[in-house]
Amino acid sequence: MNEIERELRAAAAGLPPAPSLAGLPELAERERLLDLAYARVDSPLGPLTVAATRRGLVRIAYYGARGRDAVLEELARRVSPRMLEAPARLDEVRRELDEYFEGKRERFELPIDWTLTRGFSRQVLKATARIGFGSTGTYASVAAGAGSPRAVRAAGNALGANPLPVVVPCHRVLRTGGAIGGYTGGRERKEFLLRLEGVLS
Amino acid sequence: MQLPPFQALVDRHREDVYRYLVVVAGPAEAEDAFQETWIAALRAYPRLERADNLRAWLLRIAHNKAMDAHRARARRPLPVGEPPEASTAAVRDGAPELLQSVRTLPPKQRTAVFCRSLLGMPYAELALLLDCSQDAARRSVHEGLKRLREEVQR
């Protein structure tokens, strides 16, 4: 019996590799089966994972200590497991990010899906999204913008859990008094973004 | 229960699914059924109740799609002008001869031989895929390999 199994394995080893599935996202989308498309976008801050639903951009993540797979697993759990790597579906996002990092874009126009945010956190992030390019706010000012001027610490937590860094510009929120404060992607990235926008020299 | 991102299933199992289709149904049917398998899986995915044995689940879908492709081809008339000898399975079929012989086995034995001999699938998983007991799965593998050996020696 071993002989025949060996021959089977040898024969199967000569089979051609599976054909490309590059057309799968488009086909899935046509049948409304693709809930989440994601891709890698390279940036001066390192590679980013970007993900979008039919409604808009839902997640941007640095390749950090948690790794890309952890980000994707979280999206499967919190948004939908029907997700495929589909770079073409994120061309628009890539274009706007590229322009921003090249200094050619001061505001993002792509639609945003706020699914990953809730309640007060969502209000804090929406207040943050109103801070313009080259301007800054404080934890106290975004807490006030979200309707609870005293919830400064909660505002800090909401910014720390920002699912859309760069596009929702939590890097523009500094400590009262001007200290840089923390950042999801690390302090160096925050400083880079503030320099890009001319806030730091 | 936590389902992994669907793309992870594609990355992990695409080669196994494709080889399964080629060996069990033939290269032409595999061509038709491969993408269909993934679309059908994506459609059913959120309703899946357990995340273990995803491979067996995918191969079962592949099996159904291969049967669909087979039926569709059987119904399709031969293109006009095609020389009759080119339409025989042996000629249009690029798979190695031994793998073609697998297709002469009864369907259950085909699946059993492929999964056991080429994927090294545990009997528990194979039993789930074939919807039978582990003993019956073991017998299908044994019978299939025996018939295949007889076929080759003939």
Nearest CA in chain B to A34: B42
Task: Check residue B85 and give its pLDDT.
Answer: 47
Residues A153 and A186 occupy one common structural domain: yes
Task: Check residue B84 and give its pLDDT.
Answer: 47
Domain boundary at A75, A101, A127, which? A101
Nearest CA in chain B to A25: B39
The answer to the question of residue A68 being in a domain is yes
CB nearest to A18's CB, from B14, B45, B142: B14
Task: Check residue B81 and give its pLDDT.
Answer: 56
Second-level CATH architecture of B1-94: Orthogonal Bundle (1.10)
Q: Rounded to whole angstroms, what are the CA distances from A140 to A22, A180, A201?
A: 47, 14, 24
**pLDDT of residue B83 exceeding 80:** no
What's A153's domain CATH number? 1.10.10.10
A8 CA: distance to closest CA in chain B (Å): 7
Q: Taking the domains of chain B in order of start, what are their residue ranges?
A: 1-94, 96-154
The answer to the question of residue A109 being in a domain is no
Residues A127 and A191 occupy one common structural domain: yes
Question: B1-94 with B96-154: one CATH topology?
Answer: no
The answer to the question of residue A21 being in a domain is no
Kindly list the residues from chain A whose CB atom is less than 8 angstroms away from the CB atom of residue B2.
73, 76-77
Q: Answer yes or no: do A1 and B149 touch at CB < 8 A.
A: yes
CATH of domain B96-154: 1.10.10.10
Task: Check residue B65 and give its pLDDT.
Answer: 93
Residues of A marked active site are found at 170
B128 CA: distance to closest CA in chain A (Å): 22
The answer to the question of residue A133 being in a domain is yes
A113 CA: distance to closest CA in chain B (Å): 19
pTM assigned to the model = 0.89
CA torsion, ordered B49, A116, A57, A180, to nearest 10 deg: -140
The per-residue pLDDT for range B12-37, each reduced to its tens digit, is 999 999 999 999 999 988 988 999 99
Question: How far is residue A67 CA from its own chain's centroid?
Answer: 13
Are B80 and B44 contacting, i.e. CB atoms less than 8 angstroms apart?
no
Q: Answer yes or no: do B2 and A1 touch at CB < 8 A.
A: no
Q: Answer yes or no: do A12 and B38 touch at CB < 8 A.
A: no
Q: Answer yes or no: do B99 and A23 touch at CB < 8 A.
A: no
B15's tokens: 């080669």
Task: Check residue B139 and give its pLDDT.
Answer: 97
Are A90 and A52 contacting, i.e. CB atoms less than 8 angstroms apart?
yes
Instruction: Give the closest residue to B59 by CA, choosing from B94, B95, B87, B34.
Output: B34
Nearest CA in chain B to A71: B5
Cβ atoms within 10 Å of B133's Cβ, excluding its own: 11
A71 CA: distance to closest CA in chain B (Å): 10
The answer to the question of residue A4 being in a domain is no
Q: Answer yes or no: do A81 and B46 touch at CB < 8 A.
A: yes
Alpha-carbon distance B23 to B105, whole Å? 11
The tally of domains found in chain A comes to 2
Instruction: Give the closest residue to B132 by CA, choosing from B103, B106, B104.
Output: B106
The answer to the question of residue A60 being in a domain is yes
Residues A88 and A130 occupy one common structural domain: no
Task: Check residue B1 and give its pLDDT.
Answer: 73
CB nearest to A24's CB, from B38, B98, B149: B38
Residues A135 and A83 occupy one common structural domain: no
Q: Answer yes or no: do A31 and B43 touch at CB < 8 A.
A: yes
Residues A89 and A142 occupy one common structural domain: no
Interface of A with B (CB under 8 A): 1, 3-5, 7-9, 11-12, 14-15, 17-19, 21, 23-24, 27-28, 31, 33-34, 38, 72-73, 75-77, 80-85
B148's tokens: 């295949």
Residues A131 and A186 occupy one common structural domain: yes
Q: Provide the residue range defining the domain that includes A71.
A: 33-101
A35 CA: distance to closest CA in chain B (Å): 10
Q: pLDDT by residue for chain A (201 residues), tens digit each? A: 588 999 999 999 989 999 999 999 999 999 999 999 999 999 999 999 999 999 999 999 998 767 889 999 999 999 999 999 999 999 999 999 999 999 999 999 999 999 999 999 999 999 999 999 999 999 999 999 999 999 999 999 999 999 999 999 999 999 988 889 889 889 999 999 999 999 998
A104's tokens: 């050619």
Kindly list the residues from chain A whose CB atom is less than 8 angstroms away from the CB atom of residue B5.
72-73, 75-76, 81, 83
Alpha-carbon distance A69 to A75, whole Å? 10
Cβ atoms within 10 Å of A200's Cβ, excluding its own: 12
The answer to the question of residue A18 being in a domain is no
Mean pLDDT value across residues B43-58: 92
Cβ atoms within 10 Å of B149's Cβ, excluding its own: 16
ipTM above 0.90, yes or no: yes
What's A39's domain CATH number? 3.30.160.70
Alpha-carbon distance A144 to A125, whole Å? 12
B45 contact partners, CB below 8 Å, separation of at least 6 = A81, A82, B3, B6
Interface of B with A (CB under 8 A): 2-8, 10, 14-15, 17-19, 22-23, 31, 34-35, 38-39, 42-43, 45-46, 95-99, 102, 113, 117-118, 142, 145-146, 148-149, 152
Task: Check residue B97 and give its pLDDT.
Answer: 87
Q: What is the DSSP string of chain B?
A: --PPPHHHHHHHHHHHHHHHHHHHH-HHHHHHHHHHHHHHHHHHGGG----S-HHHHHHHHHHHHHHHHHHHHHHSPPPTT--GGGGSHHHH--S-HHHHHHTTS-HHHHHHHIIIIIT---HHHHHHHHTS-HHHHHHHHHHHHHHHHHHHH-
**Three-class SS of residue A150?**
coil
CB burial readout B14-52, b (16+ within 10 A) else e: bebbbbbbbbbbbbbbbebbbbbbbbbbbeebeeeeeee
